[in-house]
Amino acid sequence: MANMEKRIFLIFFTLFLVAGIIAQTSEQNQIRFKLWYEMNEPLALPEQNSIANIEDSKTSEIEESGYKYSINAIHQIVPFILEGTLYGWNFNYTPSDKIRNVSEYFELSAIHTILLSDPQISYDSPLITDSGNNFSCWITYSCTKYQKELLEYRESINLPKISGKGSSEVQNETDGIKKAFTEAAKNAIREYYRTIIKNKPKEITGSVYLIGDPRYYIDEGNYIADLDFYLEKGTILQYIYF
């Protein structure tokens, strides 16, 4: 009897491990995150069986419900976030230096672009939240074999993980969200290099890769982005003369 129970336990334990491996493989095959955007005008919560309860809906079906303002905004954000998550952003950073009369400069550029029309992008689980003020949905990007290998390689090389916050005015709309993300990347990079460089350099280059959920919220009229990145170091150019 004891041997039988042991065998049953081992069978279930093996199945549990296999299920875990399958789940991990499935996650590696996809990039999935949730985005939200405010309504043009606050709306009442939808009734039962309306858009808030639709699962696995395509964008075209959601648009029929009259939420095009928020959906169009999310459309503008999606490629930007996927570019940072999948391929990363190159950066060029010049710290400010009052002694040398140098102003701070920071530029973030996509290593590879992703089009909104990319067939690997899908949307589901639309939802009205915050008493009808915000619209949200889930975005799934189905990775190709090459893209999956790219993500796995990045995980395997032990890149430094950095974090930062950035802000931009809400009135800038989707550009404000992108700017807040850019500011978060700059602040994360600046704080990291402050810990390893004694004297301000002339220029720092490298790449960052967005990891985890794209977290952003509104506070006192500003979008606040609170993000995590992998940092791939590039070059550090020092001043020749003081």
pLDDT tens profile 58-67: 445 544 454 7
pLDDT at 42: 47
Overall domain count for the chain: 1
Say if 120 falls within a structural domain: yes
Say if 40 falls within a structural domain: yes
Say if 70 falls within a structural domain: yes
Query: Does 93 have pLDDT greater than 60?
Result: yes
pLDDT at 45: 41
Say if 163 falls within a structural domain: yes
Q: What is the sign, positive or negative, of the torsion defined by CA atoms of 233, 112, 218, 215?
A: negative
Tell me if 143 sits within 8 A of 120, measured CB to CB: yes
Query: Which token pair is 67?
Result: 């939420």
- The residue-averaged pLDDT of 146-151 equals 94
Tell me if 55 sits within 8 A of 167, measured CB to CB: no
Q: Which domain holds residue 142?
A: 2-237
Say if 181 falls within a structural domain: yes
**This prediction's pTM:** 0.79
Q: Helices 173-194 and 68-82, interaxial angle, to 10°? A: 30
Say if 13 falls within a structural domain: yes
pLDDT at 206: 97
Say if 242 falls within a structural domain: no
Q: Residues 162-214: pLDDT tens digits?
A: 999 999 999 999 999 999 999 999 999 999 999 999 888 999 999 999 999 99
Say if 43 falls within a structural domain: yes
Q: Which candidate, 76, 118, 113, 92, places its Cα nearest to that of 208?
A: 92
